């Protein structure tokens, strides 16, 4: 499979398709069929983006959104990871928490927003609580299945070579479960990212990217909405590819737990 | 060919071979039905008792933290008066309409992308740019473009759940073994037969995974969007509206119904579908 000429052709086509879509959008926006307030031209969106970045408002919103996501995620990891590992190791703990997790998991995190608003008030506490709820279950269930999927042969080999419970844990179980744990982190972030945007629309006071979009709707500032959407997409993309990709390379790929797929 | 697909996209970790698969495996010694039921019920009894204790001790105002029997009474009252079923019905109809749209469009786009290199190169950058943006973020935009109400909600639900369906269908079509395609061609299959007898069944486990993920996403976004879109009926709206009147019991009853519908979609609909198709054909165990 000679990937090289193939790949350049794919890149050309990808670029062509993006240009075509942009041109089509621009054409529709300029045609005047739709009000310019609803369908701003691309330069207008670009201008809104640049202005927002330069006057520091968009970075400020992004920072407060990130703060909520990261704090909620951190809480979810602190609770979910140890609990998931314990569930994977000990039957009684599994028997107790698994039914609870299976009952709570199908409830979308956004359904809790109104309840959390009543309990914690508008603002940060509610948003962080929603992120925690959204991120907890992917974390918990992946840690649990990761520990359960550790090859029993490795455990027995470890014990036979005289490993105590502690070194068994650090040298066998954690590395063995790590591909699942990283998958869990990824899924938790995806969920958390959705949850935070929704929670900010419904519950935020006056900072956050979700709130920007919601607020811009009131003033028909579609260009600001599209600019904020671009920032949300960019941050999501950066986390997915750079943060989790790097994490994966530094751990499971290096330890040889999963292979990199390259043709 | 299959190798290049798996490393490139955010949706990569959703292929059926990873993730949640071991969830259904629950190997235990044979035991009587009621012991299993009792063991499953035990944690709920403990948590329920804790909730009840906190509610009774009045640590929080009981308006905000009602005891369980008040929630149960609200659930019963609303069900008996037909309000709750009406909300639930509207929500489920919206879900089905949006999801049907996504399933049809998503599977078609996914298959075309999987079969034609040109379509793949053209569509992939657009699809992968749209995918990392959370669906709910588009909600205000859709409300501006299509107005408050059902049209926006259904379109948004369809739009959001189309992404996992496209990605998984595309991966599935690419994962069909080259040998199967070639042996079918060698035995004289035409395009149509090839598609029906080889590609579609071969890609089906992935397509079903995509549909399942798409439905889960649709469900999550629908509840949120109903709160924003000011539709007159719908569970999301019911919960959000109850907040104004501090009816925490109604809100919790709504959350319970939402959870029950979510569970039913996952367990009843998709488990059945899988048993009837891929499991029966021996594609998956």
**Structure ipTM:** 0.80
> The domain B70-279: what is its CATH number?
1.10.3720.10
Which percentage of chain B shows pLDDT scores above 70? 86
Task: Please check whether residue A229 is in contact with residue B126, taking contact to mean a CB–CB distance below 8 angstroms.
Answer: no
What is residue B28's predicted lDDT score, i.e. its pLDDT? 52
Query: Using CA atoms in the order B95, B101, B106, B108, what is the torsion angle rounded to 10 degrees?
Result: 150
Nearest CB to B132 within list A96, A112, A240: A240
User: Is B190 in contact with B70 (CB distance < 8 Å)?
Assistant: no
A8 and A78 in one domain?
no
Q: Residue A262 domain-assigned?
A: no
Q: For chain A, give the mean pLDDT.
A: 84
Assigned domain for A120 exists: yes
Average pLDDT, chain B: 81
Q: Are residues A27 and A113 in the same domain?
A: no
A152-167: b (≥16 Cβ within 10 Å) or e? eeeeeebeeeebeeee
Instruction: For Cα atoms B169, B12, A76, give the angle at the middle one, nearest 5 degrees.
Output: 125
Would you say residue B196 has pLDDT above 90? no
Comparing A134 with B63, the larger pLDDT belongs to A134
Q: Which of B120, B140, B240 sits opposite A217 (nearest CB)?
A: B140
Residue A258 has pLDDT above 80, yes or no: no
With bands split at pLDDT 50, 70 and 90, how would you rate the model's confidence at A48?
Answer: confident
Residue A182's nearest CA partner among B12, B207, B164 is B12
* A22, A118: one domain: no
Question: How much is the average pLDDT of B28-41?
Answer: 76
The alpha-carbon gap from A214 to the nearest alpha carbon of chain B, in Å, equals: 6
- Mutate which of A34, A88, A107, A241 to disrupt the B interface (most B C-beta within 10 Å)? A107
Instruction: Give the pLDDT score at B13.
Output: 40
| Of A35, A262, A191, nearest in space to B213 by CA | A191
Is B105's pLDDT higher than 90?
Answer: yes
B268 interface with A at CB cutoff 8 Å: no
**Shortest distance, CA A37 to any CA of chain B (angstroms):** 10
In a domain, A259, yes or no: no
Is B34 buried (19+), middle (13-18) or exposed (0-12) by CB count in 10 A? exposed
The Cα B86–Cα B196 span in angstroms is 40
d(CA A2, CA A114): 55
pLDDT, one tens digit per residue, over A233-248 is 888 888 877 887 778 7
Q: Residue B19's pLDDT band (boundaries 50, 70, 90)?
A: very low
Q: Which residues make Cβ contacts (< 8 Å) with residue B77, sequence separation at least 6?
A: none
Residue A216 has pLDDT above 60, yes or no: yes
B residues 113..132 contacting A (CB < 8 A) = 117-118, 120-126, 129, 132
pLDDT band for A72, please (50, 70, 90 cuts). very high
List Cα–Cα distances, B26 to A198, B19, B39, B249, B284, in angstroms: 35, 16, 14, 35, 17
A261 has a pLDDT exceeding 70: no
Chain A contact set for B224 (CB, 8 A): 108, 110, 113, 198, 201-202
Q: Same domain, yes or no, for A202 and A240? A: yes
Let me know whether A158 and A29 are in one domain.
no
Q: How confident is the model at residue B22 (pLDDT cuts 50, 70, 90)?
A: very low
Q: Least CB-CB distance to A110: which of B41, B120, B224?
A: B224
B50 touches chain A (CB under 8 A): no
Name, of B77-91, B153-167, B226-240, the range with top average pLDDT: B153-167
CATH number, domain of A112, equals 1.10.3720.10
Q: Same domain for A157 and A174?
A: yes
Task: Tell how far CA A253 is from the center of its chain.
Answer: 21
C-alpha–C-alpha distance, residues B126 and B141, integer Å: 18
Q: Tell if the CB–CB gap between A240 and B10 is shorter than 8 Å.
A: yes
Task: Judge if A101 and A141 occupy the same domain.
Answer: yes
How confident is the model over B138-159, as a mean pLDDT?
Answer: 88
Domain co-membership, A27 together with A99: no
- pLDDT-based confidence at A76, cuts 50/70/90? very high
Distance from CA of B204 to the nearest CA of A (A): 23
pTM, full prediction: 0.82
Alpha helices in chain A (DSSP H): 3-31, 42-54, 57-89, 91-104, 113-120, 124-148, 152-160, 165-168, 174-203, 209-218, 222-238, 245-248
Nearest residue of chain B to residue A92 (CA atoms): B39
Q: Among all residues of chain A, which has the CA nearest to that of B42?
A: A96
pLDDT in tens, A131-146: 999 999 999 999 998 8
Check whether A196 has a pLDDT greater than 80. Answer: yes
- pLDDT, mean of residues B165-179: 89
Residue of A258, A109, A232 whose CA lies nearest to A176: A258
- Overall average pLDDT of the A202-227 stretch: 84
Amino acid B23: pLDDT: 41
Per the CB < 8 A criterion, the answer to whether B217 and B160 are in contact is yes
Q: Which residues of A touch B136 (CB under 8 A)?
A: 110, 194, 197-198, 201, 210
Asked if B137's CB is within 8 angstroms of A232's CB, the reply is yes
pLDDT at residue B95, as a whole number: 92
Asked if residue A165 and residue A85 are part of one domain, the reply reads yes
Alpha carbons B229 and A198: distance in angstroms, whole number? 13
Same domain, A53 and A29: no
Note whether A192 contacts B: Cβ–Cβ < 8 A.
no
Q: Is B74 on the interface with A (CB under 8 A)?
A: no
Answer yes or no: do A69 and A20 share one domain. no
Most confidently predicted of A47-61, A72-86, A186-200 = A72-86
Task: State how many domains chain A has.
Answer: 2
Give the number of beta-carbon pairs within 8 Å between A and B. 186
- Taking residue B238's Cβ as centre, other Cβ atoms within 10 Å add up to 27
A75 lies in which domain range?
Answer: 41-253
What's the rounded Cα separation, in Å, for the pair A202 and A16?
A: 39
Query: Is the CB of A150 inside 8 Å of chain B's CB atoms?
Result: no
């Amino acid at each position: 499979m000679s990937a090289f000429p193939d790949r350049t052709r794919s890149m050309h086509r990808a670029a062509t398709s993006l240009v075509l879509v942009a041109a089509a959008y621009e054409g529709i926006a300029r045609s005047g069929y739709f009000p310019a307030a609803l369908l701003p031209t691309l330069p207008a969106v670009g201008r809104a983006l640049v202005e927002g970045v330069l006057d520091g408002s968009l970075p400020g919103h992004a920072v407060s959104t990130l703060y909520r996501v990261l704090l909620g995620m951190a809480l979810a990891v602190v609770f979910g990871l140890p609990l998931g590992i314990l569930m994977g190791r000990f039957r009684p703990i599994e028997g107790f928490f698994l039914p609870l997790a299976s009952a709570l998991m199908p409830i979308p995190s956004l359904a809790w927003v109104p309840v959390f608003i009543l309990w914690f008030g508008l603002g940060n506490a509610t948003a962080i609580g929603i992120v925690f709820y959204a991120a907890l279950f992917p974390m918990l269930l992946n840690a649990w299945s990761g520990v359960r999927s550790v090859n029993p042969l490795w455990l027995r080999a470890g014990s036979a070579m005289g490993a105590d419970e502690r070194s068994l844990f650090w040298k066998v179980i954690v590395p063995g479960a790590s591909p699942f744990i990283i998958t869990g982190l990824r899924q938790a972030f995806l969920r958390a990212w959705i949850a935070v945007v929704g929670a900010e629309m419904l519950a935020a006071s006056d900072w956050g990217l979700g709130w920007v979009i919601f607020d811009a709707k009131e003033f028909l500032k579609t260009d600001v909405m599209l600019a904020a959407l671009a920032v949300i997409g960019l941050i999501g993309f950066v986390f997915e590819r750079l943060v989790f990709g790097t994490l994966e390379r530094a751990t499971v790929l290096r330890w040889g737990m999963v292979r990199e797929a390259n043709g | 060919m299959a190798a290049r697909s798996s490393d490139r996209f955010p949706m990569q970790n959703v292929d059926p071979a990873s993730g949640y698969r071991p969830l259904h495996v629950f190997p235990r010694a044979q035991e009587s039905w009621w012991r299993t039921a009792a063991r499953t019920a035990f944690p709920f009894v403990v948590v329920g008792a804790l909730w009840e204790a906190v509610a009774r001790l009045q640590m929080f105002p009981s308006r905000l933290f009602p005891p369980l029997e008040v929630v149960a009474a609200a659930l019963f009252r609303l069900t008996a008066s037909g309000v709750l079923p009406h909300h639930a019905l509207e929500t489920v109809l919206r879900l089905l309409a949006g999801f049907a749209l996504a399933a049809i469009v998503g599977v078609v786009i996914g298959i075309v992308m999987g079969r034609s290199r040109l379509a793949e190169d053209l569509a992939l950058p657009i699809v992968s740019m749209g995918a990392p943006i959370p669906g709910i973020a588009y909600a205000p935009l859709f409300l501006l473009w299509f107005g408050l109400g059902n049209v926006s909600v259904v379109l948004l639900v369809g739009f959001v759940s189309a992404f996992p369906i496209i990605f998984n269908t595309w991966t599935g079509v690419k994962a069909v073994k080259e040998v199967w395609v070639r042996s079918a061609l060698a035995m004289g299959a035409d395009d149509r037969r090839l598609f029906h007898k080889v590609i579609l069944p071969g890609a089906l486990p992935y397509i079903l995974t995509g549909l399942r993920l798409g439905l889960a996403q649709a469900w999550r976004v629908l509840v949120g969007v109903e709160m924003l879109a000011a539709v007159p009926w719908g569970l999301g709206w019911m919960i959000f509206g109850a907040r104004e009147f501090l009816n925490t019991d109604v809100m919790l009853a709504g959350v319970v119904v939402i959870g029950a519908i979510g569970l039913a979609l996952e367990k009843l609909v998709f488990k059945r579908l899988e048993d009837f198709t891929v499991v029966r054909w021996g594609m998956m165990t």
